[in-house]
Amino acid sequence: MPTDFYKTLGVSKDASEGEIKKAYRKLARKWHPDINPGNNEAEKKFKEISQAYDCVGNKEKRALYDEFGEDGLQAGFDSEKARQYSQWKGFQQGEQSRGAEGFGRYQSYEDIFGDIFGAGMGSSGFRSQAPSRGRDLQHDMTIDLISALKGFETELSMQKAKICGTCGGSGNDPKSTLSTCTYCGGSGRLNVAEGPMHFTKPCPHCQGHGQTGKPCPTCGGSGQVLGTEKIRVVIPRGVKEGSKVRVAGKGEPASTGGKPGDLYLIIHTKPHPFLTRKGDDLLMDVPVTVREAMAGGTIDIPTVDGTVKLKVPSGSQTGKILRLKGKGATNLKTKTAGNLLVKLVVKVPQTDDPEILAAVQKMDGMYKSDVRSAIRI
């Protein structure tokens, strides 16, 4: 059974923050392991009290707990989606109890759009006898740039509608006696349009099963419940801002025995302190010493696949761009990699050594003209 955190702390649901804190401190003193050494029951009680206070003692967590119960405390819980689902479910149940068919002669808002765009769009308003497909879902996912460039596998905890485990999606109480649906005559379908072409849609009263009984006590007759599913996903190498990663069959389940929809992950990337992505190319500012810029040399450059050597030409200036071919981002379609563009930044040492300053003074005589002569405003 779900835990009642208010009961654990011995306070009412409308208790103030001060009352909750006072109750927690009193119980914590009583059951603290230091006061009850070797008492396993006291240790267990103290953990329960601490868990309860962690929830209802926090304003944001308490609001979610009051509205959604312990589900609202799970990682990745989307309160807005949960409210929308509850509103849709309540509307559907209300319409069923009044003997109506959802939104007018349709069962859901997808059916309304189906009537506008026609059956060819894969809508739910005009359908053939084939089972309908579940809705696709979208989920925003933010990752760091290196993970996007390398690709990785991960496990997501997704909150979404799933087939009710009590009734198996039928919407009927499994303990009740089923009878032939009086609305569709047991066919599971209703006519949507008259004329030379015959269109039907799933019967909203029996959920397309052709039989009805008492509403399922778990889902209220909708055939679906809101739950959390752990999904293993593979993020391919080279995804970028706005990329869509499809996870087949992990969308919402179908209400009429069809295939589930797909899950689409919308990728967002966080800025990197040194790398910037432009298309399939990567840009990086790399500091070099005055000696390396003037005399040239070989320097180490970190890349996604490890460190590589880069030759710096003699006489290089700040802003010079050198290219490392194939060390950029992988294109998702062609599977070929772009380039890593290295922009040199000459770093001058900070010193007050007289010999160094004298050498720099002598170096000034090597310039053939005023280095700022081309600047105009």
Q: What is the pLDDT of residue 109?
A: 39
Strand blocks (E) in 112-151 = 137-144
350 Cβ neighbours under 8 A, 6+ residues apart: none
Task: Write down the mean pLDDT value for the chain.
Answer: 82
At 6 the three-state DSSP class reads helix
The first and second tokens of residue 286, run together, are: 């790399």
Distance separating alpha carbons of residues 25 and 51, to the nearest angstrom: 13
* For the ranges 36-45, 169-178, 180-189, the one whose mean pLDDT is highest: 36-45
| pLDDT tens-digit map of 309-351 | 999 999 999 999 999 999 999 999 999 999 999 999 999 999 9
Q: Tell whether 163 and 291 lie within a shared domain.
A: no
Q: Confidence band (pLDDT; 50, 70, 90) for 107?
A: very low
The predicted pLDDT at position 352 comes to: 92
User: What's the CATH code of the domain at 191?
Assistant: 2.60.260.20
Q: How many domains does the chain have?
A: 3
Lowest mean pLDDT among 206-215, 278-287, 289-298: 206-215
Which strands form 263-270's sheet, in the order they lie side by side? 137-144, 263-270, 244-247
In a domain, 51, yes or no: yes
Half-sphere exposure of residue 303: CA atoms within 13 angstroms, side-chain side: 25
pLDDT in tens, 262-285: 999 999 999 999 999 999 999 999
- What is the per-residue pLDDT across 226-239, written as a single tens digit (0 to 9) for each? 878 888 999 999 99
By the 8 A CB rule, do 243 and 117 touch? no
Residues 285 and 357 reside in one and the same domain: yes
Of 73, 108, 133, which residue sits at a domain end? 73
Instruction: Based on the fold, state whether residues 228 and 351 are members of the same structural domain.
Output: no
pLDDT 10s digits, 146-179: 999 999 999 988 777 788 888 877 777 888 887 8
